[in-house]
């Protein structure tokens, strides 16, 4: 037996997962409150004690961790045109597992700089212009930033022809230059920036957040939790040399404050005479719906779907439903404890899944041209994706998982939304995906086999 | 010579892709750096691409007769977006039916287009105009 410990320092819970990489099995999971104010090791020790009550004493050969504690990796990005380099910067940051506080476009103003300074991000990503293209914007932004006191690392990933100049302007700041996120028009190149972001996270952010005490116990905090989740999804889709993956997939992580959606799919048009519009989207894409969550962001669900739909899906009178929602928004720890509350949570979860997936997936619009009907596609076409992975408390701890997950599929009445048409739902019932993303960095075959074993199919 | 950058594409709901490809090859061969937006391009797409790529000219094609509607207000939008003075070309079957070209040219110039090319213009004519307006020499390997 060779037990390995995977730790996820979440904003609320510290989750531990033990696996035996010899037998390639999951040994157990446990969680306890994250203790970031005092010593993050306390919460970890508590979680470990609970785990070892279940599994017996374990002598861990290796320990790896990911973290979204202390606000996660908070980033601000700045690009040129909102739909182009500014969007590329957003995609790069989200894919690296960051929480994007704000995306700026065009030249920053004094007020913007004051806002950025006040919001104290962990990192700033500065982009703009294709290689050999616009340099005015990124230079102006670097200059404005250079006039304030440095407070965090800056990643420069814009027009390569002025990267040196940006670095010189920001000489008082810690700068990291990497390849342009959009070297040619509409050509997305976000991996180099993402690697840089992860490296900085590893070397700097962990210490700055007082998480380093914990790192003495473990072999290091490798990445932000969403990046671990992304890594797990990519591994599950693609497989390894010796173990095949399950193919293209989408994944939904329904939380209390946000809902994250991932897709590992190329997303190109399925039908003929379709013209793709807008920025090309990354093959491994992550979106975060900051206004869609089961408790802290509960009103966002109401706003997106309307109280009427919540009422219809839950079978609860609209006025009563609103009352209950108000209660939940003020009592965020409240779990459904009877049949009526379960019905409400079912409706909320279903609509959260629907909204988040609709925003993540692309759209298809018919265009009537003088030469006949054509289609214009924006974003990714996920209609052929056959696997949807679901995780998050509200979706795992219910008997109606399949019904909730089904809301991620395309609604036949709105074929313009390019969500999966038919898919199998894979449920992360033990909450191990982030852990498997971590494990996959060292033992990809084992992580993949455990995921295949542990993810259970839900039926509608 | 430093390469000049063009943004090109077929405007509006027009899906004529062949001429667009031919022009792309002709312009690239003539030493220009081309951002080709393909077919069904909106005014905003040309403008956004021109900003990011710091383009020297926007070359608009239209083959389906609705170019006059599609091109209206484009110069004003360029000005709004900070692309004052950018070279704007338009060419193809840009109006409905057969009309006197002089009249058509006048109308498009009034809209702010620097050059207007009628149906059947060979790419070389546009390339010559680009050399002249952008004040550049053809690359050595370029032969007409």
Report whether pLDDT(B72) > 70: yes
**Disruptive mutation site among A127, A186, A366 for chain B (greatest number of B CBs within 10 Å):** A186
Q: Give the residue from A70, A76, A122 showing the smallest Cα distance to A101.
A: A76
* Dihedral sign from CA coordinates of A100, A222, A359, A353: negative
**pLDDT for the residue numbered A13:** 87
DSSP A360: H
User: Which structure tokens are listed for A195?
Assistant: 């690697």
Q: For residue A261, how far is the Cα from the chain centroid?
A: 6
Contact flag B14-A81 (C-beta cutoff 8 Å): no
Q: What is the C-alpha to C-alpha distance for residues A2 and A213, in angstroms, rounded to an integer?
A: 25
Q: What is the C-alpha to C-alpha distance for residues A439 and A63, in angstroms, rounded to an integer?
A: 9
B40 and B13 in contact (C-beta within 8 Å)? yes
The answer to the question of residue B22 being in a domain is: yes
Q: Which stretches does DSSP call E strand in A48-202?
A: 62-67, 74-79, 99-105, 123-126, 154-156, 175-177
- Which ipTM value was assigned to this complex? 0.79
Selecting from A84, A273, A369 the residue whose C-beta is nearest the C-beta of B13 gives: A369
pLDDT, mean of residues B122-136? 95
Contact flag A134-B15 (C-beta cutoff 8 Å): no
Q: What is the C-alpha to C-alpha distance for residues A9 and A224, in angstroms, rounded to an integer?
A: 9
Contact flag A81-B45 (C-beta cutoff 8 Å): no
User: Residues of B with CB below 8 A from A135's CB?
Assistant: 54
The answer to the question of residue B142 being in a domain is: no
Q: What is the C-alpha to C-alpha distance for residues A266 and A268, in angstroms, rounded to an integer?
A: 6
Residue B52 at interface with chain A, using a CB cutoff of 8 Å: yes
Identify the CATH number of the domain in which residue B36 sits: 3.40.50.280
**pLDDT for the residue numbered A89:** 96
Angle between helices A298-305 and A318-330 in degrees, nearest 10: 150
**Disruptive mutation site among A105, A127, A133, A187 for chain B (greatest number of B CBs within 10 Å):** A133
Nearest residue in chain A measured CA to CA from B2: A132
Q: What is the C-alpha to C-alpha distance for residues A116 and A145, in angstroms, rounded to an integer?
A: 9
Q: What is the C-alpha to C-alpha distance for residues A291 and B62, in angstroms, rounded to an integer?
A: 42
Look at domain A3-70+209-219 and name its CATH class: alpha beta
Contact flag A132-B54 (C-beta cutoff 8 Å): yes
| ∠ Cα B128 B130 B132 (to 5°) | 70
C-alpha to C-alpha distances, A374 to A117, A368, A387, B69, B108, nearest whole angstrom: 47, 6, 29, 20, 28
DSSP A205: I
A202 and A48 in contact (C-beta within 8 Å)? no
Contact flag A370-B65 (C-beta cutoff 8 Å): yes
What average pLDDT does the structure give for chain B? 92
The answer to the question of residue B139 being in a domain is: no
The answer to the question of residue B13 being in a domain is: yes
Report phi then psi at A423, rounded to 5: -150, 160
Q: Which helix (H) or strand (E) holds A9?
A: strand A3-9
Report whether pLDDT(B98) > 70: yes
Residues in chain A: 460
* Dihedral sign from CA coordinates of A275, A277, A280, A286: negative
Catalytic residue among B16, B66, B114, B133: B16
pLDDT tens string A128-147 = 999 989 999 999 999 999 99
Nearest residue in chain B measured CA to CA from A138: B52
B8 and B134 in contact (C-beta within 8 Å)? no
Selecting from A80, A185, A374 the residue whose C-beta is nearest the C-beta of B35 gives: A185
Selecting from A128, A135, A367 the residue whose C-beta is nearest the C-beta of B40 gives: A367
C-alpha to C-alpha distances, B121 to A406, B65, B144, nearest whole angstrom: 55, 16, 14
Residue B40 at interface with chain A, using a CB cutoff of 8 Å: yes
**pLDDT for the residue numbered B80:** 83
Residue B19 at interface with chain A, using a CB cutoff of 8 Å: no
Domain that holds residue B93: 5-134
pLDDT tens string A334-381 = 888 899 999 999 999 999 999 999 999 999 999 888 778 889 999 999
Selecting from A182, A368, A370 the residue whose C-beta is nearest the C-beta of B64 gives: A370
Q: Give the residue from A356, A427, A351, A361 showing the smallest Cα distance to A389.
A: A427
Q: Which helix (H) or strand (E) holds B60?
A: strand B57-62
| Confidence (pTM) | 0.87
Q: What is the C-alpha to C-alpha distance for residues A250 and A424, in angstroms, rounded to an integer?
A: 10
Q: Does the domain spanning A74-202 belong to CATH 3.40.640.10? A: no
**How far apart are the CA of B65 and the nearest CA of chain A, in angstroms?**
9
DSSP A162: G
| Extents of the domains making up chain A | 3-70+209-219, 74-202, 238-294+358-458
Instruction: Spell out the residues 6+ positions from residue A152 whose beta carbon is closer than 8 angstroms to its own.
Output: A120, A121, A122, A123, A124, A174
Q: Give the residue from A447, A453, A457 showing the smallest Cα distance to A425.
A: A457
DSSP A431: -
Q: Give the residue from B136, B144, B133, B112 showing the smallest Cα distance to B43.
A: B112
Regions of chain A with pLDDT less than 50: none
DSSP A244: B
The answer to the question of residue B9 being in a domain is: yes
Question: Strands of A274-277's sheet, edge to edge?
Answer: A274-277, A372-378, A363-369
Q: Which stretches does DSSP call E strand in A328-417?
A: 363-369, 372-378, 387-391
User: Residues of B with CB below 8 A from A128's CB?
Assistant: 52
Look at chain B and report how many structural domains it folds into: 1
Residue B14 at interface with chain A, using a CB cutoff of 8 Å: yes
The answer to the question of residue B90 being in a domain is: yes
**pLDDT for the residue numbered B103:** 94
In a 13 Å sphere around the CA of A144, the CA atoms on its Cβ side amount to 20
Q: Give the residue from A282, A325, A220, A256 showing the smallest Cα distance to A92.
A: A282
Report phi then psi at A358, rounded to 5: -60, -40
Strands A424-427 and A456-458: antiparallel
Selecting from A185, A273, A275 the residue whose C-beta is nearest the C-beta of B53 gives: A185
B14 assigned to active site: yes
Q: Give the residue from A285, A304, A282, A276 showing the smallest Cα distance to A365.
A: A276
Residue B65 at interface with chain A, using a CB cutoff of 8 Å: yes
| ∠ Cα B10 B15 B18 (to 5°) | 80
Number of neighbours of residue A323 by Cβ within 10 angstroms: 12
**pLDDT for the residue numbered A239:** 97
């Amino acid at each position: 037996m060779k037990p390995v410990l995977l730790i996820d320092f979440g904003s609320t819970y510290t989750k531990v997962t033990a696996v035996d990489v010899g037998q390639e099995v999951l040994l157990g999971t446990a969680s306890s409150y994250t203790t970031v104010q005092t010593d993050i090791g306390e919460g970890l020790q508590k979680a470990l004690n609970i785990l070892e009550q279940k599994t017996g004493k374990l002598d861990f050969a290796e320990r790896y961790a990911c973290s979204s504690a202390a606000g996660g990796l908070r980033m601000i990005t700045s690009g040129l045109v909102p739909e182009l380099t500014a969007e590329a910067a957003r995609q790069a940051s989200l894919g690296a597992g960051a929480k994007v506080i704000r995306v700026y476009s065009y030249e920053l103003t004094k007020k913007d700089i004051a806002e950025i300074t006040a919001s104290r991000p962990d990192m700033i990503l500065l982009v703009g212009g294709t290689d050999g293209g616009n340099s005015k914007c990124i230079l102006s932004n670097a200059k404005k930033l250079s006039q304030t006191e440095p407070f965090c690392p800056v990643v420069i990933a814009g027009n390569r022809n002025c990267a040196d100049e940006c670095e010189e302007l920001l000489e008082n700041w810690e700068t990291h230059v990497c390849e342009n996120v959009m070297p040619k028009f509409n050509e997305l190149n976000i991996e180099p920036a993402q690697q840089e972001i992860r490296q900085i996270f590893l070397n700097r952010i962990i210490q700055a957040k007082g998480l380093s005490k914990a790192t003495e116990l473990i072999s290091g905090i490798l990445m932000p939790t969403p990046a671990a989740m992304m890594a797990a999804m990519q591994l599950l889709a693609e497989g390894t040399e010796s173990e095949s993956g399950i193919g293209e997939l989408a994944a939904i992580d329904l939380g209390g404050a946000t809902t994250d959606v991932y897709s590992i799919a190329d997303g190109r048009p399925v039908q003929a005479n379709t013209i793709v519009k807008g920025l090309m989207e990354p093959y491994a894409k992550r979106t975060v719906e900051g206004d869609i969550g089961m408790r802290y962001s509960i009103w966002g669900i109401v706003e997106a779907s309307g109280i009427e739909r919540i009422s219809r899906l839950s079978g609860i009178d609209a006025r009563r439903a609103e009352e209950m929602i108000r209660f939940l928004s003020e009592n965020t720890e409240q779990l459904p404890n009877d049949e009526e509350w379960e019905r409400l949570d079912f409706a909320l979860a279903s609509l959260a899944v629907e909204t988040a997936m609709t925003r993540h997936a692309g759209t298809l619009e018919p265009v009537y041209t003088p030469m006949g009907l054509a289609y214009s596609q924006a974003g990714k076409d996920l209609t052929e994706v056959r696997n949807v992975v679901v995780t998050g408390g509200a979706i795992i701890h219910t008997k109606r998982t399949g019904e909730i997950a089904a809301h991620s599929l395309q609604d036949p009445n709105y074929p313009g939304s390019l969500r999966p048409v038919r898919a199998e739902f894979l449920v992360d019932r033990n909450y191990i995906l982030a852990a498997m993303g971590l494990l996959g960095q060292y033992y990809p075959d084992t992580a993949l086999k455990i995921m295949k074993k542990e993810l259970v199919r839900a039926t509608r | 010579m430093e390469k000049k950058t063009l943004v090109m594409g077929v405007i509006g709901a027009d899906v004529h892709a062949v001429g667009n490809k031919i022009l792309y090859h002709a312009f690239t061969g003539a030493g220009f750096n081309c951002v080709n937006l393909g077919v069904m391009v909106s005014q905003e797409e040309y403008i956004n691409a021109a900003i990011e790529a710091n383009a020297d000219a926007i070359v608009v094609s239209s083959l389906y007769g609705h170019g006059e509607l599609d091109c209206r207000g484009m110069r004003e939008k360029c000005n709004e977006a900070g692309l004052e003075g950018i070279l704007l070309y338009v060419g193809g079957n840009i109006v409905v039916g057969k009309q006197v070209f002089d009249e058509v040219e006048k109308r498009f110039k009034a809209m702010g287009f620097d050059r207007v090319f009628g149906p059947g213009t060979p790419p070389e004519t546009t390339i010559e105009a680009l050399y002249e307006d952008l004040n550049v020499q053809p690359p050595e390997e370029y032969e007409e």
